[in-house]
Structure 1
Amino acid sequence: MSFGVSTRGFYDRSTSVMTGLQKQADKAMVQISTGKRLQVPSDDPVAYQRLQVLRRASADEAVYGANVKVAQATLQQADTQLDEISTQLQQVTERALRAANGTMSANDRASIAIELRSILETIVAAANVKDARGLPLFGGQGNEPSVASKPDGSLDFAPGRQTAIPIGDGQAVEPGVSAGEVLKIGNGRDIGAVVTALITSLAAGEAPADADRADLAALSEQVIQAQTSVGARAARVDLQAGYFATAALEREDTRSGLEDADPAQAITDLKRAMTILEATQASFGKLSQMSLFDYIR
């Protein structure tokens, strides 16, 4: 029986083993230093592909998340301004009710008329507020006011409303309301016309007309309905914001499980690879110094 010993084969096999062990040690050290299990796609192609999907989803939601914040701020501002308009309408209603009292003098009614002029100016100013982006909150474009007073005291309303803001795939929300839809009632009269009619009656020392008071009540109810609509949209946007927050946490957990290294496991792998490598190097050193007679003895 005979056998052959290939010195070249011995060296090649030994070198291959030690190179593999060195790569394992290097990989473990990189994982420890970076905290990442995956360094290149070839480390785990399936996990790498899933990470790309997660990153795209995060990028998409970052854009939608920014839009959600804009929508939240704009809807909050719209609610604040509608609340201001509602408060001013309550002031008008209270003064109209007081002026309807038969014991009130003409001078007292004239004084209330002066107050109503100031209140109407406040309402118009609230309707012409712009949002943080510089856009008219209640309709109109650019520097165009949402509401403008006409010579007869009635109001002129800019057409249109703010463009809906995308807050998710296939989802968008209108961040405001149209001033004309809120401050103008079905019979064609607007808040400016109604308050001006009240001012005219009171300035003449007369009690307010029942029709004007009825229209005032209708306008107040319409503003409340607009607030309800804005509040419902704000609640929807808040739900979307909550969904994004939850989804982001879930994606981070998934990403961590796919990409992040286990420090304890990486240290264990490094120690094992180094131990085996050192033992292999020592054995290789001894065997490489032996003569052929020593080897076959």
Structure 2
Amino acid sequence: MISRVTRSSMQFTALRHLQAKDATLAALLERQSSGKTITVPSDDPAGTVDALRLRSEQRANTQYTRNTNDAIGWLSTLDSTLLSTSSQIISVRDLIVQAGNGALSETQRISIASQLEASSGTLLGMANTTYMGRNIFAGTSAAESAFTDNGDGTYTWNGAAGSAVERRLGDDTTVQVDSDGGGVFGNGATSLFAVIDSFATALRSGDALDVSAALNTIDGFHSAVLSESASVGTRYNQAKAAQSAQESLTVTLKQELSSVEDADLAETVIQVSMQQVAYQAALSATAQVLQPSLLDFLS
């Protein structure tokens, strides 16, 4: 049986094909202008899933990068402070050795005592160093300063014992970015500052000096500073390694996301040109199908 092809069916078919060509051309033009192969999930469901996963990894990596940069800032501040503290303690030790010279005049003793008191103040300032408004030697304490001069020859550590400020560098990696001020500088009447002040007071008043005991105490504090400095250096290297890995991952994720989402512009331009030719041909064919006949005018 031969199917009858009516003029209306021809017109319907021509219009349907024309609309399909128009939709394809519009999609290609949108891809060309946006530079993306996926504008809605239905364009590529599997690609959309991959893109969402990659963007999630990008957000996590961005947060870890911020954490790592903050950790490096903390640890850099700690490192420079501990180095300065070490240098200052060596100066204090030299002054104590000078004070052990029994032939010193009163003027010389007072001069050394003044220098020791100034060094104690300098060390107290170092112990109260902050980074971004946070004390680097007070743990998670919100105290205004890590150490307080009580005015009676004692100094109180205001830190939170057993606490630590940490930054997460990855899913399973954290690093401590502060130091235990109590462990480095001591606390109360046996703190580094109190020991220096006590020796300076005895020197100023002409009392008998136990230089050997003072040197042993100072050397103990110096060893604590050097040990903490080594620990900070290790943690700093850990943070720098994490930073390098995060920078590499940033590039990798960007490339992978581009391979999923970004359109091949050269290929898209060619497809647009071909589709425009096909669309023009469809327009021409449709125009011929839709030409009115004599019966159209007579009806």
Is the TM value for this pair above 0.5? yes
Q: How far is 1:220 from its partner?
A: 0.8
Matching residue of 2:135 = 136
Give the aligned partner of residue 189 of structure 1. 190
Asked if the contact 2:138/2:180 (under 8 Å) is kept, the reply is yes
In structure 1, C-alpha distance between the alignment counterparts of 2:73 and 2:142, rounded to whole Å: 19
Residue of structure 1 equivalent to 2:36: 36
TM-score (norm 2): 0.87
**Contact persistence 1:78–1:176 (CA under 8 A):** yes
1:270-292 CA-partner distances (Å, limit 9, x unpaired): 1111111111221232344497x
Identify the residue that residue 225 of structure 1 maps to in structure 2: 227
1:165-180 matches, within 5 Å, as 165-180=167-182
Partner secondary structure for residue 71 of structure 1 = helix
8 Å CA contact 2:116–2:196 kept in 1: the answer is yes
Task: Please tell me whether the aligned partners of residues 109 and 203 of structure 1 are also in contact (alpha carbons under 8 angstroms).
Answer: yes
Structure 2 letter corresponding to 1:282:
S
Please list the CA deviations of residues 119-165 of structure 1 after superposition, one character each: whole Å capped at 9, or x if unmatched.
10111111112221x22221162244211234552432123244322
Percent identity over the alignment is 23
Residues of 2 paired with 1:151 and 1:271: CA distance? 85
Mapped partners of 1:81, 1:283: distance in 2:
82
Note the 1:202-281 alignment, pairs <5 A.
202-205=203-206, 206=208, 208-281=210-283
* Counterpart code for 1:169: D
The CA RMSD measured in Å over matched residues stands at 2.3
The gaps in structure 1 that reach 5 residues or longer are 292-297
Using structure 1 for the length normalisation, give the TM-score. 0.88
* Structure-2 separation of matches of 1:195 and 1:263: 73
Looking at structure 2, the residues matched to 184 and 6 of structure 1 have their Cα atoms a distance apart, in angstroms, of: 101
Q: Which whole-Å CA distance do the structure 2 matches of 1:267 and 1:137 have between them? A: 58
2:215 maps to amino acid: R
Residue pair 1:28, 1:266 contacting (<8 A) in 2 also: yes
Distance 2:262 2:3 in 1: 50
Tell me how far 1:102 sits from its aligned partner. Answer: 4.5
Partner SS, residue 131 of structure 2: coil
Displacement, 1:103?
4.3
Q: Following the alignment from structure 2 to structure 1, what is the Cα–Cα distance between the partners of residues 277 and 175?
A: 62
The 3-state SS of whatever aligns with 2:15 is: helix
Range that drifts further, 74-83 or 115-124: 74-83
SS in 1 for 2:101: coil
Deviation track 1:29-75 (CA, whole Å, cap 9, x = no partner) reads 11121111111111101111111111122222222222222222122
Q: Which amino acid aligns with 1:261?
A: A
Asked whether 1:22 is paired with 2:22, we answer: yes
**Cα distance, 1:24 vs structure 2:** 1.6
Q: Name structure 2 gaps, 5 residues minimum.
A: 294-299
Superposition deviation, residue 13 in structure 1 = 2.5
Tell me if 1:65 matches 2:69. no
Judge which range, 40-49 or 76-85, deviates more.
Answer: 76-85
Give runs of ≥4 in structure 1 deviating > 6 Å: none
Q: Which residue identity lines up with residue 124 of structure 2 in the other structure?
A: V
Change (3 A) 1:284 1:184: same
- 2:245, 2:10 → 1: CA distance? 61
